[in-house]
Amino acid sequence: MPKTKTTKKTKTLQQSYSSQVLLRAALAILVAISVTMFVIALHSEPEPPKPPRKAPPIVSMGPLGYRIEDGRAIKRSDPVVQELHAFLTNKAVHEGCPASTSAYEYVQAATKDETQVLLKYGCGAADSPMYIRKQNSSWKSVSPTNQFNELGIPVCDYLDRNAISKEIAPVCVSTIGATQSNAAPEYSVR
């Protein structure tokens, strides 16, 4: 019987020793992998920061985007609206607004023949007025845009030089800013 006890003890010791060897080997492999990952992370190039995503433009056709039929507003999709919408979207994309701010383009009024438009535009809000007109079958912005007073009323001379219709500019102002005589600007109905 003593032989059996020794054999069992020997087998148990051998299994214990084998388990310890396997455990040490697994631990060594784990440490080696961790050190390798740390060295790779230390020496790798950081990923360059991604540029901020540009906010999408917001284009509203305002009253020009709908027609009234039988007392209902019907959304227009005719070529005039499509061309103007494409022009305004392209204009908004190239507006130069900060990446996190949308460019706004909003049609406020249009002439009956739909060849001239009063537009409000800007970054973050549509707060600056501008005229757009169709010339030689393409839309063009009327520059400069600094010809409006703080109330958004255009200078009379600017309207005359650019042949802006009275339909979308019924009132104008004689001048903007300070004058030599400090006289109040004169408003005119065209």
**pLDDT recorded at residue 171:** 97
Distance CA 167, CA 113 (A): 10
Q: What phi and psi, each to the nearest 5 degrees, are found at residue 83?
A: -65, -45
**pLDDT recorded at residue 72:** 94
Distance CA 162, CA 157 (A): 9
Enumerate the β-bridge partners of residue 139.
134
**pLDDT recorded at residue 116:** 97
Distance CA 130, CA 171 (A): 15
Q: What percent of the chain has pLDDT over 90?
A: 53
**pLDDT recorded at residue 50:** 74
**pLDDT recorded at residue 99:** 81
Give 168's contacts (C-beta < 8 A, 6+ positions apart). 109, 110, 111, 116, 117, 118, 131
**pLDDT recorded at residue 142:** 93
- Please list the helix, strand and coil fractions of the chain in percent, rounded to the nearest 5, in that order: 35, 25, 40
Distance CA 139, CA 134 (A): 4
Distance CA 83, CA 108 (A): 17
DSSP state of 74: E
Low-confidence ranges of the chain (pLDDT < 50): none
